[in-house]
Structure 1
Amino acid sequence: MTTSAYQATFEELGTPLREVTFVVVDLETTGTRASEGGITEIGAVKVRGGEKLGEFQSLVNPGQPVPAFVARLTGITTAMVATAPGIEKVLPSFLEFAHGSVLVAHNAPFDVGFLRAACEKLGYPWPGFPVVDTVPLARKVVTRDEAPNHKLSTLARIFRAEVTPDHRALSDARATVDVLHALFGRLGPLGITHLEDLRTAADPVPKEVRAKRHLADGLPEAPGVYLFRGPGDEVLYVGTSTNLHKRVRSYFTAAEKRRRMTEMVRIAERVTPVVCATPLEAQVRELRLIAEHEPRYNRRSKYPERAVWVRLTDEPYPRLSVVRDTTSGLAHIGPFGGSNAAKEAVAALHDTLPLRQCTARIARVPRTPGSPCALAGMGRCSAPCVATVPDVVYDDVAGAARAALDGDPALVVETLSARIARLAAQERFEEAGEVTRRLRSFVHGARRAQRFAPLARCAELVAARPAGVAGAPGERGGWEFVVVRHGRLAGTSLSGPGEDALAAVAAVRATAEVVEPAPPPAPSSYPEETDLLLAWLDQPGVRLVAVDGELTCPVRGAAAHADLARAADRVRAELPGA
């Protein structure tokens, strides 16, 4: 059985610098390229908390002559290394010496490059040491006014190192230790006190941003929601994470590239954590808090009340209408994120069926016939306004529209797909792209309504999945339970390995939120929350424990055409001028 090397991330280490074991290493070589040259000497010093724990030094036979200019620079000659052990004997001893440590070197890519090349040549897996390079750290805190360059000899002189570097491996490693400790002394006031800070220490993070690292202190390493608050305790930003401490801490490093977030951090005064039992609960709470506070620095999910539906009106001669609220008993699709998408879906239906588009109220049997509009003349409206008897033709048109909205949208999909093909064949690509957008919007809205409606009708749905890391069943043991009532998350909990799952289900049901139904097909929550719940329920391993209602979708519903709509959208994107 083989095992692959694992390289720990800085975030995973999360250790104060005083608790980190560093191995400061320096190599002498026969050249500057690891692929061509060989190692002639390895020197290393192991330190922790400012104390020296050990040293390592060995000459190495590089298997090739030492060039004259290298011999003059280092004092290491071919004769000196002729009887030295080869790298195949020295490297295992060094790797054992450095095991579990963080490698430090001055111009680390050079030294680490030779070490990695040696491992590869000998067939050893690279241990994946975290690496710290003192050159960029020095550039951060040693200005050009203080030093003309950032060579090791220059820094050793500025920081009054006890050992003068002389191009011998152990002497240079000892000098680098003194330089490293001096750099830590200068980086500390900048808020760089933990190992993970060193990764971004050389990046241009504003001092006022880095100085607010303390806002992450004390935050739990647990899933939940975090709220950045301003001077007046107003909520500036809401986010979610599986590890609150690590996520909030990242805002004060160069890992955060968004300018508006840097601006937000400058204003923030404190961070409020909301620990959640499960990641799903954290995601839902984030949506609700964003909707409640409308933070100025959040862009997503700020205005869920702007979601709209497309409805067939309740009139003798129904028409399509874009509305914000649903009405029981009427055909709807949606919700859509905005009115533009809803209008595209309406246009898709108008392209398919001659529904009337006027807003006038028309009696079932008008006293006097009206005047047909231009759309009627073009055959795009059934013109019930001119009927002197009940218009049964329009009844068929309205019935087909209702079927497309509530059930099978095949008529709309097939009609528009054929039109897209004709337009593309005629090289009318802009028009083909417009029709494609309409088709996509219609199918998306119909599919969403057909998925929302069953969940909204369920008075209670209880589901469970094996608890695990990142949704992988069984890795942690126990179960994750979710209670959904009328499309809203009413409760969630975790049970540990060996616990009575049925008792946990009874407990979460008893403590779940009481939820009143909304007019179907709308759920009793914001649309994005219902999307999250449906995505959770769709995951592998999820099991339905109890359902109070009927959880079904049409067999020939919009979901059957979702792939077709996505394919049409890809075609539209590839059209010339798209």
Structure 2
Amino acid sequence: MQASLTDIGEPLSSTTFVVVDLETTGASPRDCAITEIGAVKTRGGEVVGEFQTLVDPGMAIPPMIVALTGITQAMVTTAPRIGAVLPAFLEFLGDAVLVAHNARFDVGFLKAACQAEGYAWPRVEVVDTVLIARRAVTKEEAPNRKLSTLARVFGTRVTPNHRALEDARATSEVLHGMLERLAAFGITHREDLDALRNPVPGTLRRKATMADRVPAKPGVYVFRGPRGEALYVGTSRNLRSRVKSYFTRGETRRGIREMLELAVSVDTTVCASELEANVLEVRLIAQLRPRYNRRSTRPEKTAWVKLTDERYPRLAVSRSAEGSAAWLGPLRSAGAAREAIETLQDALGVRTCTTRLPITPRTNARACILKETGGCSAPCVRGAESEYEATASATQAVLDGDLSPVVATLSAAVAEHAERLNYEKAREVRDGLSSLIDAAARQTRLRSLQACTIVAVRPLEDGWELAACARGRLSGSARVSSGVWAAADRLRAQAASLEWDETVLVEEQELVLRWLERPGTRLLYVDGQWSSPVHGAAQHARWVDARRSDRDDATSAGRR
């Protein structure tokens, strides 16, 4: 049977390249700007389009740059600014392979311009002709890897002259000359280009035969070691292409390279949908505990906040929601759980000591300083037992989802600290409240999902994707071009007949919820009640959004 293009990859003769060259006011994108963009689009060695424009850099062009490029201040005075040029260039680029000579320089300036102007940098493959030249040209032919030297070696029709379009044309000719030379060494497909940037050892390249019997379909793969042990679990929309890529593309991650050296076989499971593949991946990682997976390998480390089962209960971090009538979570980390606990202690006066208190306080018992400051109702001393019962009841109500009293108290505290210009303390209280609200909102969503059976459908370009979940777990999925209701009925019956154990993977539930909540998803069956309380924690989501916004701003500032 003849292999399809999906199976063997994309031939370089069918690959679209966009070769780009920039002229700038200097060497650093932090202090300098673009003065000219030139690009050539080719496919199969033929030019299919060109792009060229001068750019007003918004700053003076140094005399040395004028002498080098011939681009003067007068030439760019009427030129568009980079913000007006980028949309047209990004459209010209599309999803082609981006090529440049010394690509770090050109791509660095383009990425900086996109960030400054608010455009997302496309996830395109980048090829540097300098790196390819190290494989395709000998030192005897070219003592250096300058564009002018390579143009002489390959006899380009265009001579580089430090003008963007002319240099892009010359680079394009050099690129195709080198690819023609490298074809004799097996570099014939787009997937082979990565091997030029990151050479693959022969011992790993020979293992690429593992992919020969792998189907070119979406699903989950499991690399196994000499004793059949699971080494790594992953997902892909094309299992064959993904498995092969491990052995044909230079893997830079140390752990994964070590895993590939140990791997002797690969198991695959074809899935009906991307959701099913993602869920199966999470389940397999939790079940097999592969040593080279970092994510999802320890579901038992999920953090919860619970009210301890004792006469005078306190709040504690737990790794399970079982064994307690009152619990909150799951939280995103143990740190978030501790933040939530400290927040409730401050707002409600829950005791912070870990001592197991006697039912009847000792006559000589003395309270700590928290009693004096109002931070604890002190059930350790006589006369405060009834007061602490009210505290415990209020805490129980919060863990059950009634956050309004705590939010009101802490909102006033945040405002008071801010008014006193104590912004650090205001942020600390805000962050604790955010962790508490986020945990309560997640708890509501997960509990609601576990209380029903749902069958839903999403439209695809060539049909429909269906998914069914029961008690928070994915029970089945399907992909059909017609007969949606018949498929939904089968999934509904399957969900009703399945028997589940008590283990519920939080990450699986989150995957199902994200799929159900995506725009365009339509509910076909809901057996039970799937709802979100109007007065639940979600109404206070602005506190979570404020903290997330601060983190995003800090991340952006760090990148700049």
Instruction: Tell me the CA shift for residue 362 of structure 1.
Output: 4.9
Given that 2:198 and 2:251 are in contact with CA atoms closer than 8 Å, whether structure 1 keeps it comes out as: no
Cα distance per residue 1:396-431 (max 9 Å; x no partner): 322322222222312222333333333344444443
Q: Give 2:488's match in structure 1, choosing from 493, 497, 505.
A: 505
Verify: 1:437 aligned to 2:437, yes or no. Answer: no
Secondary structure at the counterpart of residue 197 of structure 2:
coil
2:479 paired residue number: 494
1:251 is paired with a residue whose SS is helix
2:498 corresponds to which letter in structure 1?
V
The runs of 5 or more residues in structure 2 that have no matched partner are 18-35, 48-95, 104-124, 160-171
Match of 1:477 in 2: 463
Counterpart among 560, 567, 576 of residue 546 in structure 2: 567
Aligned pairs, how many? 447
Distance in 2, Cα, partners of 1:392 & 1:177: 84
Q: Deviations over 1:236-261 (max 9, x none)?
A: 22111222233334434558553433
For 2:393 and 2:216, the matched residues in 1 are separated by 56
Going from structure 1 to structure 2, the CA distance change for 1:272 and 1:441 (only over 3 Å counts) comes to: same
Question: Which residue, out of 214, 221, 226, partners 1:219?
Answer: 214
Query: Which residues in structure 2 correspond to 1:405-420 (within 5 Å)?
Result: 405-420=399-414
Q: Which has the higher mean CA deviation after the structures are superposed, 559-568 or 214-223?
A: 214-223
The Cα shift of 1:318 comes to: 3.1
Q: 1:397 to 1:573 in 2, by over 3 A?
A: farther
Q: CA RMSD in A?
A: 4.5
| Cα separation, partners in 2 of 1:369 and 1:11, compared to 1, 3 Å | farther
Distance in 1, matches of 2:404 and 2:314, equals 20
**Distance of 1:428 and 1:251 partners within structure 2:** 53
The residue aligned with 1:514 is 498
Q: Which amino acid aligns with 2:403?
A: P
Identity in percent? 42
In the alignment, the residues of structure 1 paired with residue 550 and residue 178 of structure 2 have an alpha-carbon distance, to the nearest angstrom, of: 60
Q: Which range moves more in the overlay, 339-348 or 132-141?
A: 132-141
2: CA distance, partners of 1:302 / 1:108: 40
Q: Shift of the alpha carbon at 1:278?
A: 0.8
1:448 corresponding residue in structure 2: 442
User: Structure 1 residues 416 and 145 mapped into 2: Cα distance closer, same or farther (>3 Å)?
Assistant: farther
Shift of 1:285: 0.7
C-alpha distance in 2 between matches for 1:514 and 1:307: 26
What is the Cα deviation at residue 528 of structure 1?
0.7
Task: Specify the SS of the correspondent of 1:311.
Answer: strand
Q: Which moved more, 1:406-415 or 1:505-514?
A: 505-514
Q: Residue type of the partner of 1:492? A: S
Aligned-pair CA distance for 1:140: 0.9
CA distance in 2, matches of 1:373, 1:175: 79
Q: How far does residue 302 in structure 1 lie from its aligned partner after superposition?
A: 1.1
Distance 1:572 1:306, change over 3 A: closer
1:371–1:386 Cα contact (<8 Å) kept:
yes
Give the drift of 1:368. Answer: 5.2
Measure how far apart 1:466 and its partner are: 3.0
Distance 1:23 1:359 in 2: 66
Q: Which SS does the other structure have where 1:350 is aligned?
A: helix
Which is worse superposed, 244-253 or 221-230?
244-253
Name the CA shift for 1:433/1:259 in 2 (closer, same or farther; >3 Å).
farther
Give 2:536's aligned residue: 557
Query: Are 1:350 and 2:345 counterparts?
Result: yes
* TM-superposition CA deviations, 1:476-513 (whole Å, max 9, x none): 223x332222211122222322x2x3332232234447
Q: Does 2:243 correspond to 1:248?
A: yes
| Preserved contact between residue 407 and residue 556 of structure 1 (Cα < 8 Å) | no
The alpha-carbon distance between structure 1 residues 149 and 281, as it changes in their structure 2 partners (threshold 3 A), is same
Match of 1:463 among 455, 458, 471: 455
Computing the radius of gyration from Cα coordinates, the structure with the larger value is 1
Residue 525 of structure 1 is matched in structure 2 by 504
3-state SS of paired residue (1:205): coil
TM-score, normalised by the number of residues in structure 1: 0.65
| Counterparts of 1:484 and 1:324, CA distance in 2 | 25
Map Cα deviations across residues 371-396 of structure 1 (whole Å, 9 max, x no partner): 323322221111233345x8443333
Corresponding residue of 1:228: 223
The CA deviation at 1:335 is 1.2
How does the TM-score come out when normalised to structure 2? Answer: 0.67
Supply the distance in 1 between the matched residues of 2:531 and 2:394 (Cα, whole angstroms).
22
Match of 2:109 in 1: none
Q: Which runs of 5+ in 1 are unaligned?
A: 1-9, 25-34, 48-54, 57-101, 110-129, 157-164, 469-474, 519-523
Measured in 2, the distance between the counterparts of 1:254 and 1:562 equals 43
Distance 1:452 1:517, change over 3 A: farther
Check the 8 A contact 1:370/1:385 in 2, yes or no: yes
